[in-house]
């Protein structure tokens, strides 16, 4: 889903696939850029297709070992 | 607006004074303490030094109601019910931070507190002072009963899902970790430094009094009996509560569903933050992050293998768990911005 940010000409909003929060995407975004969800902190790599469609794919997050 | 604090020498009383001194719309006209009458309040609450010349005085009900537009009461449980009818009769607004008017059922006081309520007719009149659930009633109410600190943490964590359903309402378990200030300012062997330092003490594995108000409020929300089994542990911090709630699902639910339920329920609540981070070291609510603020942070995790939803909430027991909520209630009563006098961040690191 792609939304125009209210009162904002230079950004779009995408829904976060993890938490349904809103991620702001600058309109000059390029493929490979990393964006982060402000609600859940999930990182996504932006993919801009030849047709100009913007897709998000989860970026690698380093895990932590708490002695499990 | 003139306000007074009855029972101002305890930790909750001190926290009320700290908030009220900074509040732009109120003057503190009196702070009472039997033990410290005549003494400057900053001798007992040293963080107030330089901010006030107020002295403790003995409590006299008619003097208090004459001098103030609203009274905060922070006396030990079982005290305010002995004088409440007299002050309520004057028409003054009262915010009671003790347990004396939290429960609707007079018999519950015998079961949970071990004493018979002396003015049960006021229980119906009292409003349970949790703004997120009872904002409109608080605005109209004369007698507001502030929630217990652990009860506030549990109710705020559980309310959205209790209302929505889809869980076993007779099998909810809440485990609390509580800082030492929750035990009040009166010292005991259990609070003595060599005995308390480093503990994880299960001080109430079953039968904690706050069970009564948690069940009362969540049963109202869910429309049927909602049972909570709670256990409380004293841990080695001064301020803060972490409530870990275990619920068992009766229907499939996704992570996004839970986010939507909580976002929808809390909307723009100024003091609720939803915390379920995918990175960093503070991925779930942690009392350390909210100390000194009026926030209640709420997070969750789904355990698909056991159809279990784990809800977590963290708050500062003296703030959102007591004085912060009381000041928020006062702001609601007088139609002020709810954040006035409360709009502060927690400290980090602490």
pLDDT at A66: 63
CB of B74 within 8 A of CB of B5? Answer: yes
pLDDT band per the 50, 70, 90 thresholds, residue A61: low
Task: Please give the CATH topology (third level) of the domain spanning B2-125.
Answer: Rossmann fold (3.40.50)
pLDDT at B304: 95
Q: Specify if A43 maps to a domain.
A: yes
Q: How far is B255 from chain A (nearest CA, A)?
A: 7
DSSP B22-34: H-TT-EEEEEE-S
Q: Specify if A65 maps to a domain.
A: no
Which chain A residues have a beta carbon less than 8 Å from that of B301? none
Whether the pLDDT of residue A67 is over 80: the answer is no
Q: How far apart are CA B41 and CA B46, in angstroms?
A: 8
Q: A41 and B280: CB-CB below 8 Å?
A: yes
Which chain B residues have a beta carbon less than 8 Å from that of A59? none
pLDDT at B187: 85
Strand order in the sheet with A54-58: A34-36, A43-48, A54-58
Question: In the CATH scheme, what is the homologous superfamily, with its name and number, of domain B150-316?
Answer: Dihydrodipicolinate Reductase; domain 2 (3.30.360.10)
Q: Which residues pair with B31 in a beta bridge?
A: B5, B56
Q: Specify if A66 maps to a domain.
A: no
Both tokens assigned to B304: 């698909």
Q: B259 and A61: CB-CB below 8 Å?
A: no
pLDDT 10s digits, B293-323: 999 999 999 999 999 999 999 999 999 999 9
pLDDT at B35: 95
Whether the pLDDT of residue B233 is over 80: the answer is yes
Whether the pLDDT of residue B108 is over 60: the answer is yes
Domain ranges of chain B: 2-125, 150-316
The answer to whether residue A22 neighbours chain B at the CB level (below 8 Å) is no
Q: Specify if A68 maps to a domain.
A: no
Q: How far apart are CA B89 and CA B255, in angstroms?
A: 50
CB of B302 within 8 A of CB of B258? Answer: yes
CB of B78 within 8 A of CB of B84? Answer: no
Q: B277 and A18: CB-CB below 8 Å?
A: no
- Supply the CATH number for residue A18's domain: 2.20.28
Q: B279 and A21: CB-CB below 8 Å?
A: no
The verdict on ipTM greater than 0.85 is no
Start-end of H helices in chain B:
11-22, 41-44, 61-67, 80-88, 106-113, 121-125, 131-140, 149-164, 193-196, 210-222, 255-266, 287-290, 324-333
The answer to whether residue A51 neighbours chain B at the CB level (below 8 Å) is no
pLDDT 10s digits, B162-192: 999 999 999 999 999 999 998 887 888 888 8
Q: Can you give the residue range of the structural domain that contains A53?
A: 3-58
The answer to whether residue B274 neighbours chain A at the CB level (below 8 Å) is yes
Whether the pLDDT of residue A5 is over 80: the answer is no
Q: A43 and B279: CB-CB below 8 Å?
A: yes
pLDDT at A27: 86
pLDDT band per the 50, 70, 90 thresholds, residue B266: very high
The answer to whether residue A58 neighbours chain B at the CB level (below 8 Å) is no
Interface test with A, best of B279, B286, B297, B302 (most A CBs within 10 A): B279
Whether the pLDDT of residue B138 is over 90: the answer is yes
Which among B256, B280, B281 has CB closest to A20?
A: B256
Q: How far is B69 from chain A (nearest CA, A)?
A: 41
Nearest to A44 by CA among A11, A64, A66, A22: A22
Which chain B residues have a beta carbon less than 8 Å from that of A39? 259, 274
CB of B249 within 8 A of CB of B273? Answer: no
The answer to whether residue A41 neighbours chain B at the CB level (below 8 Å) is yes
Which chain B residues have a beta carbon less than 8 Å from that of A56? none
The answer to whether residue A18 neighbours chain B at the CB level (below 8 Å) is yes
Which chain A residues have a beta carbon less than 8 Å from that of B280? 41
pLDDT band per the 50, 70, 90 thresholds, residue A3: very low
Interface test with B, best of A1, A16, A41 (most B CBs within 10 A): A41
CB of B311 within 8 A of CB of B158? Answer: yes
Q: What is the pTM of this model?
A: 0.94
The answer to whether residue A56 neighbours chain B at the CB level (below 8 Å) is no
pLDDT 10s digits, A29-47: 999 999 999 999 999 999 9
Q: Which residues of B are catalytic?
A: 149
pLDDT 10s digits, B277-294: 998 999 999 999 999 999
Q: A20 and B259: CB-CB below 8 Å?
A: yes
The answer to whether residue A19 neighbours chain B at the CB level (below 8 Å) is yes
Domain count, chain A: 1
pLDDT at A9: 54
pLDDT 10s digits, B91-105: 999 999 999 999 999
What is the percent of chain B with per-residue pLDDT over 70, rounded to a whole number? 100
Nearest to B343 by CA among B328, B333, B332, B330: B328
């Amino acid at each position: 889903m792609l939304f125009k940010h209210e009162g904002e000409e230079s950004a779009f909003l995408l829904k976060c696939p993890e938490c349904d929060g809103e991620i702001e995407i600058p309109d000059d975004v390029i493929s490979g850029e990393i964006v982060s969800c402000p609600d859940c902190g999930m990182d996504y790599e932006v993919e801009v297709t030849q047709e100009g469609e913007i897709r998000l794919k989860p970026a690698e997050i380093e895990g932590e070992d708490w002695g499990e | 607006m003139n306000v007074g604090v009855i029972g101002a020498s305890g930790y909750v009383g001190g926290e009320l004074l700290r908030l009220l001194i900074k509040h732009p719309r109120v003057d503190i006209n009196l702070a009472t303490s039997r033990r410290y009458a005549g003494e400057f309040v900053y001798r007992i609450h040293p963080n107030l030094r330089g901010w006030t010349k107020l002295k403790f005085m003995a409590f006299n009900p008619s003097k208090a109601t004459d001098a103030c537009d609203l009274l905060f009461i922070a006396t030990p449980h079982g005290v305010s019910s002995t004088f409440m009818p007299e002050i309520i009769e004057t028409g003054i607004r009262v915010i009671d931070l003790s347990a004396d008017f939290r429960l609707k059922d007079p018999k519950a006081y015998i079961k949970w507190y071990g004493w018979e309520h002396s003015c049960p007719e006021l229980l119906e009149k009292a409003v349970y002072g949790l703004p997120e659930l009872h904002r409109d009633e608080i605005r109209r109410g004369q007698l507001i009963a502030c929630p217990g600190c652990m009860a506030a943490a549990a109710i705020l964590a559980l309310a959205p899902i209790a209302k929505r359903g889809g869980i076993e309402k007779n099998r909810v378990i809440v485990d609390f970790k509580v800082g030492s200030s929750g035990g009040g300012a009166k010292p005991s062997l259990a609070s003595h430094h060599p005995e308390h330092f480093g503990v994880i003490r299960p001080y109430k594995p079953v039968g904690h009094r706050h069970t009564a108000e948690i069940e009362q409020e969540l049963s109202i929300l869910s429309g049927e009996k909602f049972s909570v089994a709670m256990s409380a542990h004293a841990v080695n911090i001064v301020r803060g509560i972490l409530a870990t709630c275990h619920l068992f699902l009766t229907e499939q639910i996704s992570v996004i569903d839970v986010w939507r339920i909580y976002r929808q329920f809390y909307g723009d609540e100024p003091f609720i933050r939803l915390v379920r981070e995918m990175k960093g070291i503070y991925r779930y609510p942690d009392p350390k992050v909210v100390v000194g603020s009026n926030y209640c942070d709420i997070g969750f995790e789904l355990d698909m293998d056991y159809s279990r939803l784990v809800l977590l909430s963290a708050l500062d027991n003296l703030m959102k768990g007591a004085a912060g909520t009381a000041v928020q209630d006062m702001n609601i009563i007088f139609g002020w911005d709810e954040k006035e006098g409360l709009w502060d961040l927690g400290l980090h690191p602490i």
